[in-house]
Structure 1
Amino acid sequence: MKDTLLVLGCILALFSFLPLIKSPLWWIRVLDFPRLHVAILLTAVLIFYVSKYDVTSLSEISMIVLWAAAILNEIRYIIHFTPLVKVEALKTEKAVPENALTVVISNVRMVNRKYQKFLDVVLAEDPDILIMNEPDEKWHEQVRPKLEKRYPYSIKKPLSNTYGMMLWSRFKLHDSEVRYLVEDGIPSFYTLVELPSGHKFSFFTVHPQPPRLLKNTETREAELLLVAKMAKASPYPSIVAGDMNDVAWSKTTKLFKQISGHIDPRVGRGFYNTYNAYIPLFRYPLDHVFYDPVFRLVGLKRLPKFGSDHFPISITLNYEPQNQHEQEHPKADQEDKQEANELIQEGLEKGEERNSEKKQENTKE
């Protein structure tokens, strides 16, 4: 038992410190996700070991200190998504927000065929803008009749590779584009949304590749940071939303916020985990909405599951440019900008490599 605890504790400590390495290797970046789980498990191992065995030797004391440091390392990331810290996104003080909009983000999971259950959840929430990640043409055919009646504006790119995307809007859309920023076959959207009041804001949607077996994260980092730079450069206030395949506390997400200047409504409020809907013990916040400080938060909630491995998430914001200076927001220094540029360049090169490989495969076929 003692040896088992020693091995388990050391493995968990390694899981805690490995993500400190600035590397896109998938087996390192995937460890950004379970920080809460590692902290809980390692705390249990530490408590059990100390209560069961006498810790007297220098090596054992050093080991306990190492485990404690590993636990604190995990806590310093996840604590920002608990009520123990100050909220980043302020709530509106208006009793009746006059420039409000509700956005729902939902990864429908392409192989999921519970179309009606999805529509029941979405139509009950009745958002002004709906983002669907992973729809294929079958999904498009099944939801179009009902959604087109309610949403006169849309951008659609259903695909059979799990990276399809559709955006439905009650508000007018201008200058809409389907963009392939890094990899062919992985679209992102840009559009200019006009509120009923006439105010406009830039809206970006993304769904980059996640870290997975033998797939490193260079292209994910590049796409997120490219969008962050676009959002910052936009002459209009901006919102970025979608299944980002990254957790809210990762280094990449932090850099995204610094480059874009956007705020995260989860900070100081909770995790609002959206994945995995099937496994309650292993859930992470992967679906996000980041936005410019000209918006104030009205409400944020996770919606019921409908058959996908993601929960939908709903956010209501109010356009309040007169109060934007009251909200603190991240800012990038020169080092942040240089790091972002390096990651973008690295990701674009990897994207070109993957695009070339796909073209060669298609030619062989």
Structure 2
Amino acid sequence: MYNKKLIKNVIVVLLVAIAVVPIFSLNVPFLQLSIDFSVQLMLGYLFLGFLFLIISEKRLLLTSFACCGMLCLFLKQSSNNNLILPKVNQSEKVSIAHFNTSSSTLGYASMLEAVISSDADIVSFQEVTPDWDMYLNNNLKALYPYSARNVRIDPYGMEIFSKFPIVEYDTFHYDEIPHQMVNINVSENNNINIISAHVLPPLGKRLNERAKKHLQTIANKISSLPSPSIVLGDFNLVYWSNEIVHFREQAQLENSRRDVSQNLLNVPYDHIFYSNKLECTSFRDISDSTSNHLGIVGTYQIKPTTDVKEGRVTSFLNK
């Protein structure tokens, strides 16, 4: 009896300990994977709860469901907090897609098909090599007359294609890692900054600090810009990680994702974050014919504010 009670106590401690690692971003080396797979972990606790219900282990049942609930609230807090998507208004809208060429396992044609099917106004590519640059430019220049291209032979080649005029183009760096930044004119009086970022995966404490400094550099750049900004790219971090949450707080950015991919084996490392002067009216993942993840696409509009005295809707842009 004593041994059975001791085993139950150990299981309870383990269940709680594993759950709090992602919630508090604890640096526990052998449990770090639980951060990236928090969604799967949450569903695992749900399954365990029903299992303990079947075998009438009330204490373990309550512990499992409590851990599942904590993870659920934690993930929701880190995602887009809107319970429903904002209503589409009469303000200017722009759809933006992001792709990483290394994700295309079926070759050039599969990527091009996904880009055209996304019907995005602006398309960002990362890990663009000279071969990819030639193919994309030849096949997209008619549909996207404006582009900013930074072709490299390393993984940091980037390109942005746009249906809207590119007013300004700049590149800033963290160490030797480039970031593309374009200012795009989406209507007569409204511009939006698009920043393409590629963050190295944090595989240890030292690289975790590097990722934080990298994101700090991007946040400082965003804070210096007058127009609303949309930041996208491969961050190699889940959006509920401590690094991303801190980055969003610093840069005052919202998360486009309201949930994770329907494919539970796909951990979301690519993201689109946007200034609070904008609203995200839709967001989805893009996959090829084999359900392989290729990219993401979102639609954004200017957040309206009601002028109570004059009874009209005005724009936040350029204010």
Give TM-score scaled by structure 1 length: 0.70
1:203 and 1:27 mapped to 2: Cα distance? 37
Q: Which residue of 2 aligns with 1:174?
A: 167
Matches for 1:170-249 after TM superposition, within 5 Å: 170-181=163-174, 183-184=175-176, 186-212=177-203, 216-249=207-240
Deviation at 1:20, TM superposition (A): 4.9
Matched residue of 1:209: which SS? coil
Give 1:111 deviation, angstroms: 7.1
Alignment equivalent of 1:44, drawn from 19, 26, 47: 47
Label 1:300 to 1:72 Cα distance change in 2 as closer, same or farther (>3 A): closer
Task: Quote how far apart the aligned CAs of 1:295 are.
Answer: 2.2
Residues 39-61 of structure 1: per-residue CA shift (max 9 Å, x gap) = 22133234324532656xxxxx5
Q: Is the 8 A contact 1:231 1:239 kept in 2?
A: no
- Per-residue deviation at 1:87? 3.4
The 1:311/1:13 distance shift into structure 2, 3 A limit, reads farther
Residue from 75, 80, 90 that aligns with 2:86: 90
| Higher share in helix | 1
Contact conserved, 1:155 with 1:176, CA < 8 A, in 2? yes
Take 1:300 and 1:111, find their aligned partners in 2: how far apart are those partners? 20
Q: Is the 8 A contact 2:286 2:293 kept in 1?
A: no
Question: For residues 50 and 316 of structure 1, do their structure 2 counterparts lie closer, same or farther at Cα, with a shift above 3 Å needed?
Answer: closer
**CA distance in structure 2 between the partners assigned to 1:111 and 1:82 by the alignment:** 27
1:255 Cα deviation from its structure 2 partner: 1.9
> How far is the alpha carbon of 1:146 from its aligned partner?
1.0
Residue 72 of structure 2: aligned partner: 75
- Residues 104, 111 of structure 2: 8 Å contact kept: no
Aligned length: 305
Secondary structure in structure 2 of the residue aligned to 1:201: strand
CA distance in 1, matches of 2:225, 2:125: 24
Q: 1:91 to 1:253 in 2, by over 3 A?
A: farther
Q: Which has the higher strand share?
A: 2
The residue type equivalent to 1:138 in the other structure is D
Structure 2 residue 254 is the aligned partner of structure 1 residue 263 = yes
**Sequence identity of aligned pairs in percent?**
19
Structural mapping, 1:291-330, within 5 Å: 291-305=274-288, 310-320=293-303, 322=305
AA paired with 1:295?
A: L
Q: Which amino acid counterpart does residue 232 of structure 1 have in structure 2?
A: S
Which position in structure 2 is the counterpart of 1:125?
A: 118
Counterpart Cα distance in 2 of 1:323 and 1:243:
36
1:107 corresponds, among 92, 96, 100, to: 100
Note if contact 2:104-2:110 (Cα within 8 Å) is conserved in structure 1: no
Q: CA 1:9/1:149 → structure 2, altered by over 3 Å: closer, same or farther? A: farther
CA RMSD of aligned residues (A): 3.6
Q: Identify if the C-alpha distance between structure 1 residues 103 and 149 changes in structure 2 by more than 3 Å, giving closer, same or farther.
A: same
Say whether the 8 Å CA contact 2:222–2:229 is kept in structure 1. Answer: yes
- Write the letter of the residue equivalent to 2:182: T
2:317 maps to which residue?
none
Q: C-alpha offsets along residues 133-187 of structure 1, whole Å, 9 cap, x if unaligned?
A: 2222221122220112222322223334433321111222233122222x32x32
Correspondence for 1:362:
none
- Supply the distance in 1 between the matched residues of 2:165 and 2:300 (Cα, whole angstroms): 17
